[in-house]
Structure 1
Amino acid sequence: MTASERSGSLTYLARLGFSRLAEADGLLDELETDAGVPRSAALEAAAHAADPDEALIGLTRLARRDAAVVRQARADPQAWRALWALLGASTGFGEFFLRHPAEVALLADAGPTLPSAGQMRESLLDSVDAVEGFASDSSEHAWVALRVRYRRILARIAAYDLLSASPVDEIAAVSAALADAAGAALEASLAVARTRVSGGVAGAGLFPRDQVARTGLAIIGMGKTGARELNYVSDVDVIFVGGADDATTAELGESRVVDIATRLAVQTMRGISGIEIEPPLWEVDANLRPEGKQGALVRTLDSHLAYYDRWAKSWEFQALLKARPIAGDETLAAAYVEAVQPKIWTSAARENFVDSVQRMRERVTEHIPAEEVAYQLKLGPGGIRDIEFTVQLLQLVHGLSDERIRQRGTLDALDALVAEGYIGRAEASVFSRDYRILRLLEHRVQLRHLRRTHLMPSRPDDLRVLARASGLAETADGIWSLWESVKREVRDIHVRLFYRPLLSAVAALSADERGLSTAQAHDRLAAIGFTDPAGALRHIAALTSGLSRKATIQRHLMPVMIRWFADGVDPDYGLLTFRRLSERLGDTHWFLRMLRDSSGAAESLSRVLSGSRYVGELMEWIPESAAWLDDPDLLRPRSGLALQEEARAIQMRHDTVDEAMRAVRALRRREQLRVAMAAILGTVTIEEVAEGLTTITDVTIQATLRAVRRDTVPPEDAALDFSVIAMGRFGGAELGFGSDADVMYVYRANGVDPQRAHELALKIVSALRTYSEDHRVPLDLDADLRPEGRNGPIARSLDAYAEYYRRWSLSWEAQALLRARGVAGSVKLIRAFMELADQVRYPASVDDKAVREIKRIKARVENERLPQGVDPARHLKLGPGSLSDVEWLVQMLQLEHAHSVPTMQTTSTLGALRAAEEAGIVATNAADRLAEAWRLASRLRSANTLLSGQTSDVLPVDRKKLDGIGRLLEYPPRSATAVEEDYLGTTRRARRVFEKLFYG
């Protein structure tokens, strides 16, 4: 071959995947010369090799050992493809064929189908000449024959796998075949063990043959073996059960039966994993037996059951989920599996079962060496264990009442969980695909050297081979990127499903709650707090009847949600509203999926619906708000800027004021609901509630003013300035649910005829009040704090306000201005009004007459404004030590000191109070008591509205309502008395401070 031809040849080798080009070129020459294998035939077959270099090296070594074997394989296309595939994917098979060249010829049997379990069992028993459970040979030669035959079968399975058009789709079939092969190997090894123990080999523990024949040893496959999900090289987890019929046990005694069975188990394990001429197959791991390594290797069935009844831990029942007879005494094995089944499926009812499973998964991750975490296919975050633990936990929790999901295999279990609605189709599809990918990668890294490993390669060359062997990528970077992507997907779904509170809640259900007759359910609902159990049963039936997926998921949710509703204030209303909400959302795919899969949405929904009619009524009109429960960020009050942008966008989309205001009212309802839900769930403080409600009201009034001004003021009068001034709790940004919005209206003519300006201002006010009305969430624009109160003009010019405050202003009007804040309209006009207000509300000095007048008015308010028949101590706004006391005291201190203490120049009640404390005007202890009373009264006032859906300033006497309010304030159940005592005690202490500082 010329240099040019040689260069071209090497280039072709590189295209085929060879990397050691010169070495490969020489070996191809050697094969052609010494073994008669044409270069073209070798290169054509190289396409089937994941690592052509290693395949060629292995083939050349084999030819040096026995060239005839290579020529024979070359003559059979099937054997030739299989040989290259095996040698290119596994140096381990290269070593096997080098030890046993004759096995290569049998690759012709590696056809398009996998060997059946029966074929493998028959072949392996034949390898030891087993007859009626005993091998003909008890020497080490029998074990060698067994191991060689097993590896022949393994090669056939691997060839099928490697030559498959889509290996990832064959994972289930290949893994099942590997598990069946392991069971067959154990059966054959047990046959040798029986011969050895019955006198074949000294030192094996000799017993009469008839006694050995009458002693049963059942081998139970656990883990991946039991689930028929075995790897190529993996520990085979087993449990040994010994026993005999009653006559044999009576004759020999139970201890001797167990002794014989133990000797059989020991010898069986040695046949598989002992050191012999032919290397061990895999480790037989019996550590899942009762008491683990410290426990007896073999127990009777009764001994096993006694242990599981008294001592077993939760993880042991999780392990038993995979238990399957794989070898030995079939009757005894079947009895064992049948006996443990009820124990497996009731284990989830054990106390803290879900927590223990979750913690066990975390411990597995914690014990991974730090340098291996990024490479762990099996144990690491996003690995195989995440999928398996998630599926097993779902099975164990729901399998107690649903036999249809009691599957051993992970993929079978996933299919069942999807079919029965316990997991979404999308999540299951991703889990199933990613599980197959992870298992395929695991298979290929184990095949490489036929060694037990679960680590991704780190070297680029090894990653390249893995990419070719798996068919999942073409390059090293490609296979690593796929691995990283799979890890992220798996971890995300695992965290969402494995830690969802619904699992703990379902596991905690009593047997009565899982399945009741109609009569029992009626009594149960009444017992746990439903006042109309018959109505509740109708709602439950409506939600769960039928064969639809929606009804299936509702059936899973109902037992838990019923308990959560019962834990709420009004279970009947909560269930009724949930039914209405479900009907409004219809077949919306995200709703039930969110309740089933979210980290807490179902419980949160139960809590808000059974705890608040205010929320329930709004959610019926805004059902999509349920989605907020799945995202904490969506339960935060939105910023004023975001709401302003949305409101402006609304007005740009609508041509008429009616259309625009319908959209603005919808915006306000939605945001009020958002804050209400956040308040009930405790994700916001009372200060954040007040700020959120104030911001919503600000934006609503701003949007309304823009809309009505555009509709009311003609272009020729556009110079008119008009502004809305917030007063009272609105001005102080201290609104609660159900609070009025106290306002004043101011205008400036700016060249418009004064009379015309006044008329336009009145039209704007009228339109503002009309279009801000909302029968669902009332917004009352209350202008009673304007000069002269209800007797004064509802709107004044800036000059008229200045003239009034200069000549006729009363002390209470200056006091009212302390919380004045511009919220809508002309910014210049607002600035000018606030400068005017500052002159009035922050005087350099306050005369004694004005102070006396404030005190007189306060006393009159206490005597005259309290509703007739209401206990003053229970009035949250006007009662002693309540909101009014704190606010009047703070406002009097502001009038007296804010001019000289600028930090007191704020519309915030608590802000001014803390500024007074810092200035030494109010003692810290006194300020704390006042602030505590103000906060508690504010919270109770809002909670009262949230509970009933109606505004009320009176602390209820009704114990159920009081308890409901307490629950919204995060008191434990049945805390009506505690709520009442806390409020009365807090306001008594605040009243003493108030009287000392206000009247003293």
Structure 2
Amino acid sequence: MAKPATQRPKLPGVGRLGLVELTARDDLDRLGWNTDDYVELLWSLSRAPDADAALKALVRLADELGPDWAELNQALLTDKALRGRLFSVLGGSLALGDHLAARPQSWRLLTGPATLPGVDELRRTFVAEAEKATENATDTRSACLGLQALYRDHLLVLAGLDLAPTVENEPVLQFSTVGAHLSDLADAALAAALTVAVQRVCGEDTLAPVISVIAMGKCGARELNYVSDVDVIFVVDDASPDSLSVSTRVAGEMMRFAGDAFFEVDAALRPEGKRGQLVRTLESHVAYYERWAKTWEFQALLKARPAAGDPELGARYIEALMPMVWTACEREDFVVEVQAMRRRVEELVPAGVRDREIKLGTGGLRDVEFAVQLLQLVHGRNDDSLHVASTVDALAALSAAGYVGRDDAANLTASYEFLRLLEHRLQLQRLKRTHMLPEPDDDEGMRWLARAAHMRPDGQHDALGVLRQELKRQSMRVSRLHAKLFYQPLLESVGKQGFDAMSTEAAERQLAALGYEGPQSALTHLAALTGEGGRRGQVQKILLPTLLDWLSDTPDPDAGLLAYRRISEELGDLRWYLATLRDEGAVAKRLMRVLGTSAYVPDLLMRAPDVIQLYADGPQGPKLVEVDPDTVGRALVASAGRHQDPARAIAAGRTLRRRELARVASADLLGMMEVTDVCSALTSIWVAVLQAALDVVTRDRALKGGPPARIAVIGMGRLGGGELGYGSDADVMFVCEPNPGVEETVAVKWATTVAEQVRALLGTPSADPPLEVDIGLRPEGRNGPLVRTLSSYEAYYAQWAQPWEIQALLRAHRVAGDVDLGERFLLMIDKTRYPAGGVSAEAVQEIRRVKARVDAERLPRGADPNTHTKLGRGGLADVEWTVQLLQLRYGHEIPALHNTSTLQTLDAIGAAELLAEGDVAQLRDAWLTATRARNALVLVRGKPTDQLPGPGRQLNAVAAAAGWPGGDGGEFLDNYLRVTRRAKAVVRNVFGG
């Protein structure tokens, strides 16, 4: 039986070929591809990243070729390599499609083996073209056209090899090969541009300068992108003014020409940046780096490489400067500058596009590059094997030397190369510099990228789905490995796991570079945390790389690590603790930020550990701010009231207070609460504590038949104004009134006993922040009776009140005890603090005199008057005295001034136009700034203080605790001084001095 004839494949429909444009069938007809002879060719076209774009570009190319189209058409039918390269380029790069339309005969470059020339061959080709251009061209534009076309032709060949799928549907070229060839191509282009520039500037009459072009950045590391600025530094041999002038003109002309013909040349990495000289001698470079260079400039030099110009001068430049690179980590400000660089990189990317930015976004290329370069700087002085430029080579060297785990290095390299592949594809599309993925809902854009990157369906997802899954996986892997890169080898060093574990000395160097001032202690803490047996030790080993990374970005990672160890040891038996940190990243990250900033909160958390669970996000946002302070206050009073014994009752109240302090301080440090809300919450806690203590002592001291008197507690100062800070005492006065049938002396004696016990119980030493009840603002000060009756207060104020006592009454407010008695007390003192006709001129003058005396005498010995938050220039006292003086002068006329809150009274002052709107704004700004700073001081130091520290780690911590963006202590201090200086001018104007 005869075999059936082999059937020829039939022409598929355009839809099956991935052609969706309505003109696709007509375009195929124009090419003559409408017969079954072109089936195989059409299937090749369908594999292009964008088959429609490729088809349209082919039609343009055919039109430009005219009769020569037949030759290309025949070649496509017979040369699989050609059609794979050509279709991939036309479907993957609109810009190279335009280039082919302009130079249609360049298709021949994609035939045959299409090998990549070496750098020497490229340099000879480009320089020869440059020399020909300078001889024949009549203007700048025509001179660069030939070089521009040559450069695009070489990009065309590279892109053809890079984009074309093999049988296995994978890129032909390795990422490292592409980056290296693009760098070689850039070297040749720079050499050509330099040739043109020298000819134009020097001509036949002027001696050409000895100049070397040093490549920096990705070009220097031979890992260049398809489209990128090429960073360079110019170094010259002759320091004479005439030679420097000629060299500068040559460098400028070279940059301009290269920008027109090839790519932008950026010299901003030179000494002093864009403000510095464009060219310098080698000696000038050395002098600058020895004296003035910042850490980032040494980091940039890691990738320095002579690229064009005089090779001997370039070699001397590298030889002179590279030793400085490997000692940069010993600089005093190394850690501070590294942390600042990390923050600046993060701040460069708007939050709305962070997920699309594959270079600067979280888990992006810069994360890998920055981490690798930092490790090179840390260990490179002691290990010459790390003296390599490319990121991939450096990762391999770090792994081989034991500074990075082998698996981590391999995974990070794979992720880095994947992200660089996507970056290359995105740039090839239009030959534009970009690092931005298409919009998440741009399915067509993402599908094109998936096909250009040769994503293959996996059975569950098409190419687009695979790309999206891979992007998510790679970003998460980079973010995770970014932390492990630094810290996993450290954990292995303390546990001595593996034959290539990092040495103790290397571990200490690395910790020091990451911000730990006591690296030996840090290693001890790590050993203790990971040395625990069983589940706890294993979970800590998983957690610590990420936790240490977060801690390193806090103002005091040493204190944070110690606090974390103490908390972990204290709470180790609570199963939820490590599980929460492991499973809820937000909780762990926020905890590290708090521990690395505050000495106030860790002790509270150890005694109120359930607050850590509030670090999580709830349905309405962070749980830390879902709590109502008034509800907490009522719960505190009720909890204390359940105990008959006063000491146990106060202990119960302290427990809830401790929890609330930990909650408020944590929310404050994490930027979840405004300073006014913090002050209000802290006041609410104090009010509840006073009410609880008064209730339990009154009940305990009640005589047969009940208490002999009613007692009210009047809040004074910041307690009365609802503006307490973390370090504030409670300024109070006690007022009593005998119950019916009780003699006044008996009532007062009993009330005094109650008040004394309240003060004693609250003042009992404790591990918690103190509860000091200050009674110094009562009549006659510390020499007066502790408790008075309402009538006694009224008689005293009517006859004996001093101006300072009247001023103090402006902030009096009932906070605890009998409501009716407290309200009647306030009505009574209104006659004193807001008298009809206003306070006397003599009283106002006395207030001014006392204020001048306070300014001169009250500041503590050795305090800086510019940065003392309470008594310093434009500080809290200045603002509050100014507000109170205006209340004394105008309170009888303006009822809105009858307010104990400084900020609310300032609003009333502005509304009444007693001060200009700008003056009111400056006083408000100063009060808020000083209050934030004062609260931050307590949070950072763990104890009350009013003096801002000088520049250094502690000031940075105060800045971070006060919510200053970036936690830069210098900027925070500058702002504080500026704000308070302006406020002081207003204060002087009001006080007349």
- TM-score category of the 2 structures, normalised to the smaller one: 0.5 to 0.7
Shift in Å, 1:908: 0.6
Partner of 1:187: none
Which residue number in structure 2 is paired with residue 88 of structure 1?
Answer: none
Deviation at 1:837, TM superposition (A): 1.6
Give me the whole-angstrom Cα distance separating, in 2, the residues matched to 1:906 and 1:870: 32
Query: Who is 1:734 aligned against?
Result: 723
| 1:695 is aligned to 2:684 | yes
1:822 is paired with a residue whose SS is strand
8 Å CA contact retained: 2:487, 2:545 = no
Runs of 5+ unmatched residues, structure 2: 11-35, 48-74, 88-157, 180-224, 227-355, 364-408, 424-433, 447-456, 493-500
SS in 2 for 1:721: strand
Aligned partner of 2:822 in structure 1 is 830
Matched, 1:582 2:568: yes
AA paired with 1:792?
G
Aligned to 2:927: 934
Any conservation in 2 of the 1:608–1:615 contact (CA below 8 Å)? yes
CA drift at 1:720: 1.5
Alignment match of 1:543 (pick from 529, 534, 551):
529
Matches of 1:314 and 1:993 in 2, distance apart?
47
Cα 1:818/1:262, change in 2 over 3 Å: closer
Alpha-carbon contact 1:675-1:692 (below 8 Å) kept: yes
Q: In the TM superposition, what are the counterparts of 1:986-997 in structure 2 within 5 Å?
A: 986-997=979-990
Counterpart of 2:855 in structure 1 is 862
CA gap of 1:587–1:360, structure 2 versus 1, over 3 A, is farther
Partner residue in 2 for 1:641? 630
Q: Pairwise mapping of residues 605-684 of structure 1 onto structure 2 (< 5 A)?
A: 605-631=591-617, 632-636=621-625, 638-684=627-673
Query: Which residue pairs with 1:895 in the alignment?
Result: 888
Name the TM-score, length of structure 2 as normaliser: 0.54
Instruction: Tell me: CA distance 1:307–1:202, structure 2 relative to 1, closer, same or farther (3 Å).
Output: farther
* Superimposed CA distance per residue, residues 393-439 of structure 1 (whole angstroms, 9 cap, x where no aligned partner): 78546767xxxxxxxxxxxxxxxxxxxxxxxxxxxxxxxxxxxxxxx
1:544, 1:352 → 2: CA distance?
39
CA distance in structure 1 between the partners assigned to 2:926 and 2:83 by the alignment: 77
Contact 1:361 1:389 in 2 (8 A): no
The RMSD of aligned alpha carbons is 4.5
Write the letter of the residue equivalent to 2:174.
L
Contact between 1:637 and 1:671, CA under 8 Å: does it hold in 2?
Answer: no
Amino acid at match of 2:707: A
> Contact 1:398–1:506 at 8 Å: present in 2 too?
no
Change in CA separation of 1:826 and 1:677 when aligned onto 2, cut-off 3 Å:
same
Cα deviation code 1:796-840 (max 9, x no counterpart): 111110111111111211111110010111111011101112111
**What residue ranges of structure 1 are gaps of 5+ in the alignment?**
1-135, 144-200, 207-216, 221-252, 266-289, 319-338, 369-378, 401-501
| Equivalent-residue separation in structure 1 for 2:469 and 2:528 (angstroms) | 30
Equivalent residue in structure 2 for 1:517, among 491, 502, 507 = 502
Report the 3-state secondary structure (helix = DSSP H, G, I; strand = E; otherwise coil) of the residue aligned with 2:776. Answer: coil
Is the 8 Å Cα contact of residues 397 and 507 (structure 1) preserved in structure 2? no
Residue type matched to 1:649 in 2? Answer: A
Q: CA deviation at 1:255?
A: 12
1:663 is displaced (CA, Å) by 1.1
2:584 equivalent among 598, 602, 610:
598
Structure 1 stretch displaced more, 676-685 or 960-969: 960-969
**Cα pair distance change 1:648/1:966, threshold 3 Å:** closer
Distance 2:468 2:895 in 1: 60
1:293-328 Cα distance to aligned partner (Å, 9 max, x none): 995453587715359965899999x9xxxxxxxxxx
| Equivalent residue number for residue 780 of structure 1 | 772
Counterparts of 1:205 and 1:875, CA distance in 2: 82
- Which residue in the other structure is 1:710 paired with? 699
Distance 1:388 1:668 in 2: 53
1:574 and 1:882 mapped to 2: Cα distance?
30
Compute the displacement of 1:633 (Å): 4.0
Which of 166, 174, 184 matches 1:298? 166
Aligned-partner SS, 1:600? helix
For the pair 1:363 / 2:441, whether they are aligned, the reply is yes
Letter in 2 for 1:363: D
Deviation at 1:256, TM superposition (A): 8.3
The residue aligned with 2:732 is 743
CA distance in 2, matches of 1:628, 1:647: 19
CA deviation string 1:698-753 (max 9, x = no partner): 11111111111111122424352101100001110111110111100000002222
Measured in 1, the distance between the counterparts of 2:358 and 2:879 equals 59
Identity %: 35
Structure-2 change in CA distance of 1:872 and 1:204 (3 Å): closer
Partner residue in 2 for 1:850 = 843
2:943 aligned residue: 950
Which residue of 858, 871, 876 corresponds with 2:869?
A: 876
Instruction: Give the equivalent residue in structure 2 for 1:804.
Output: 796
Report the CA distance between 1:875 and its aligned residue. 2.0
C-alpha spacing 1:522/1:786, structure 2 compared with 1 (3 Å):
same
Correspondences of 1:189-588 after superposition (within 5 Å)? 296-298=164-166, 303-306=172-175, 344-347=414-417, 362-363=440-441, 396=474, 503=480, 506=483, 517-518=502-503, 519-545=505-531, 548-586=534-572, 588=574
The number of aligned residues is 605
Structure 2 counterpart SS, 1:716: coil
855-864 vs 670-679, which moves further? 855-864
TM-score (norm 1): 0.54
C-alpha change, 1:529 and 1:972, in structure 2 (3 Å) is farther
Change (3 A) 1:940 1:834: same
1:393 and 1:851, CA in 2 relative to 1: closer, same or farther beyond 3 A? same
Q: Is the 8 A contact 2:162 2:171 kept in 1?
A: no
Q: In structure 2, what is the Cα distance between the partners aligned to 1:898 and 1:815?
A: 12
Greater displacement, 768-777 / 601-610: 768-777
What is the alpha-carbon distance in structure 1 between the residues aligned to residue 629 and residue 872 of structure 2? 33
- Residue 140 of structure 1 and its aligned partner are, at CA, apart by 6.0
Q: Deviations over 1:135-186 (max 9, x none)?
A: x98846999xxxxxxxxxxxxxxxxxxxxxxxxxxxxxxxxxxxxxxxxxxx
Among candidates 825, 839, 858, match of residue 831 of structure 2: 839
Q: 1:622 to 1:856 in 2, by over 3 A?
A: same
CA distance in 1: counterparts of 2:604 and 2:647, whole angstroms? 21
Q: 2:952 aligns with which of 955, 959, 967?
A: 959
Query: Once the 2 structures are TM-superposed, how far is the Cα of residue 609 of structure 1 from its aligned partner?
Result: 0.3
- The structure that has the greater radius of gyration is 1
SS in 2 for 1:906: coil
Asked if the contact 1:737–1:942 (Cα under 8 Å) also holds between the matched residues in 2, the reply is yes
* Equivalent pair of 2:9/2:39 in contact (CA under 8 Å): no
Letter in 2 for 1:573: A
Contact 2:557 2:596 in 1 (8 A): yes
Verify the 8 A CA contact 2:660 2:685 in the aligned structure 1.
Answer: yes
